[in-house]
Amino acid sequence: MRINALIMVAAVAVFFSGCATPPPADNVVGDYLTARLAARANDVETASDAFANARRKAPSSPAIRRTAFYFHLAAGDYEQALALAELLAKDEHADDGGFAKATLSVRAIKLNRYGEAKRLIRDAREAGFPRPAANIIDAWAVAGAEGEEAALETLRSSAGEEYRGFYPLHAALLSENLGNADDARSAYQAAIMSFSGSAEIEAYGAFLERDGDDAATREYYELLAGQEGYARYAGKAGLARLAKGVASSSRKVTPSRGAAIALYSLASGVLQNTWQRRDAAEKAGYRVGNADYNMSLAMARLALYLDPGFDDARRFAGSILNVYGEHEEAIAALSMVRSSSAYYEQAQIEIAGAHEALGDTEKAINILRSAIRSVPGAVDARLSLAGLLASKRKHSEAASVMDDVIAQLPEDPRSNAWRFYLTRAASLIEVDEWERAEADLERAVELAPEEATVLNYLGYSWAERGVNLDEAFALIEKAVALEPTSGAIIDSLGWAYYQLGNYKDAVGHLEQAASLEPADPTITDHLGDVYWRLGRKIEAQYQWERVLELDPDEDVADKVRGKISNGLPNAGQTKS
């Protein structure tokens, strides 16, 4: 069984390399191919530079101009992106889906040229720019030119059925600008029920603070603090403000800020939709290739162009850069998230993950320790630190970090507290403190009886030790039923049968696990072992040799080399 594959609870981000190193070429074709290769690998910076080189050598090429604009924008190179947007906006054959004119509209709003902004965003909408964002940007341009009443009317006339999406938040912001608290409250509540993104969640909390209902505000933030994801960060930040007696300031939302929120909401929605489609395709067995979040990144960049202090948008952009493997650029972006932001802790976790990906583990550890000192509670930073320490085999330190987290839990913690107990148990097992680990695993199952990872971990641990076998296999089989496409969990079921010497039952499960995760070195190693025990020694040797091609840990690699040379000892002598 694999700790890293099964726990998946440390908040240290998992990153995927996106760098491309193409051969040099001193011609437009070479630059264009370099750019396309970099774009395919999501190396935004390289793609932006290469497209710029290609554009200088072939300035009239519409394809190069259009794609160069897009990647300059995704890279945050606003000057170049805007210059190209002007050229594309004049080209009736640009075929850019209205994105260039939308970008120019955003610049016009930033420069308070609201009439120009209205014309451009309406042209962009007709050319294919997403209507929800275009309609909202249009409304904020109207707010700048004609006032909030006219903006609300513009928003209402364009909303229609789409009002269930991003629109209510902006109706709320415009209503509060006008001083219509009752209308604002209703719209904020509609926003929470319709989309409930980070912008909606934070905005309603800030409204409650300004409205002066301390009991309702505290109840709202306490509810958020018990949730997962960005809601928890907003809740913790809100409670901290209440504790200090500092309410969110009452400030009029400017057209620049309103349009920035619209762009960020669209960026977040597009990314969520892309991720869900990729996840569904992957679960269905399709190969999905590199993640492409360029549209979301470009939208987030535009939001930051309008509002450079938009911390959530900056954290969002930095996260995408990390996923793309552009860790230095991610660090630069995330380092600008202010310490007062609700998203500061998450930004520090992402920065630590980037340093770890760059090979500077000590720097990553120090960043997480600093975040723990500076952020009250900092549960996620502690969880990330424990995960990082465990990955470096510093299991005693990892368990000690989790001791601090678990000591702060209430007597009746929320069900998601299972991850704290499981993380500590994994490290306790590694330092041979089984009794403490077993108690943690049982507590995790008690808290989350439908969480497949927890059920599997306890069941496997019992089966491996030959105790509580009936309960052990019941837990593992329930975990498989909950997640029937998890190669890691199916591997655990097969490996538990293997540990008991039941190789005939083990092999089918291990073959299934290997078919689900063919690039996993541990599953491949297990499959080789069971083939050997069944006398299928040529197939075993083949699987072990494949393990060495899959970049295993050095300890695993050393053991596998020994198996390739000597096979497995007799089953009665020792377990593999």
Tens of pLDDT, residues 95-154: 888 999 999 999 999 999 999 999 999 999 999 998 889 999 999 999 999 999 999 999
Would you say residue 513 lies in a domain?
yes
Query: In angstroms, rounded to a whole number, what is the distance separating the alpha carbons of residues 445 and 415?
Result: 10
Would you say residue 521 lies in a domain?
yes
Q: Which domain range does residue 515 map to? A: 487-576
Distance, C-alpha 20 to centroid of its chain: 22
User: Could you tell me if 423 and 385 are in contact, meaning their C-beta atoms sit under 8 angstroms apart?
Assistant: no
Which residue matches tokens 């000057």? 79
How many helices (H) and strands (E) the chain has is answered by: 31, 0
Distance, C-alpha 364 to centroid of its chain: 18
Sequence length of the chain is 576
pLDDT at 313: 95
The tally of domains found in the chain comes to 1
Token readout for 556 is 């695993």
pLDDT at 423: 95
pLDDT at 360: 95
Would you say residue 501 lies in a domain?
yes
Alpha helices in 247-360 (DSSP H): 255-283, 294-306, 311-323, 327-334, 344-357
User: Could you tell me if 66 and 96 are in contact, meaning their C-beta atoms sit under 8 angstroms apart?
Assistant: yes
Quick: pLDDT tens for 33-57: 344 444 445 555 665 565 455 455 4
Would you say residue 558 lies in a domain?
yes
Question: What mean pLDDT is reported for the chain?
Answer: 84
pLDDT at 54: 47
Token readout for 107 is 């610049």
Pick the range with the lowest mean pLDDT from 43-57, 388-402, 503-517: 43-57
pLDDT at 66: 80
Query: In angstroms, rounded to a whole number, what is the distance separating the alpha carbons of residues 199 and 486?
Result: 34
Query: In angstroms, rounded to a whole number, what is the distance separating the alpha carbons of residues 328 and 335?
Result: 11
The CATH number given to whatever domain includes residue 550 is: 1.25.40.10
Would you say residue 250 lies in a domain?
no
Please spell the DSSP secondary structure of 147-215, one letter per residue.
-HHHHHHHHHHHHGGGGGTTHHHHHHHHHHHTT-HHHHHHHHHHHHHHT--HHHHHHHHHHHHHHT-HH
Would you say residue 561 lies in a domain?
yes
Which residue matches tokens 């998946």? 8
Query: In angstroms, rounded to a whole number, what is the distance separating the alpha carbons of residues 576 and 573?
Result: 10
End-to-end CA distance of the chain: 13
Quick: pLDDT tens for 180-239: 999 999 999 988 887 778 888 999 999 999 888 888 999 999 888 877 777 888 888 888
Quick: pLDDT tens for 351-382: 999 999 999 999 999 999 999 999 888 889 99
User: Could you tell me if 195 and 188 are in contact, meaning their C-beta atoms sit under 8 angstroms apart?
Assistant: no
pLDDT cut 90: percent of the chain above it: 57
Quick: pLDDT tens for 440-454: 999 999 999 999 999
> Which residue did the predictor score with more confidence, 131 or 289?
131
pLDDT at 424: 96
Would you say residue 360 lies in a domain?
no
CA atoms within 13 A on the CB side of 431: 16
Would you say residue 508 lies in a domain?
yes
Token readout for 214 is 């301390």
Query: In angstroms, rounded to a whole number, what is the distance separating the alpha carbons of residues 414 and 447?
Result: 8
> Which residue did the predictor score with more confidence, 255 or 269?
255
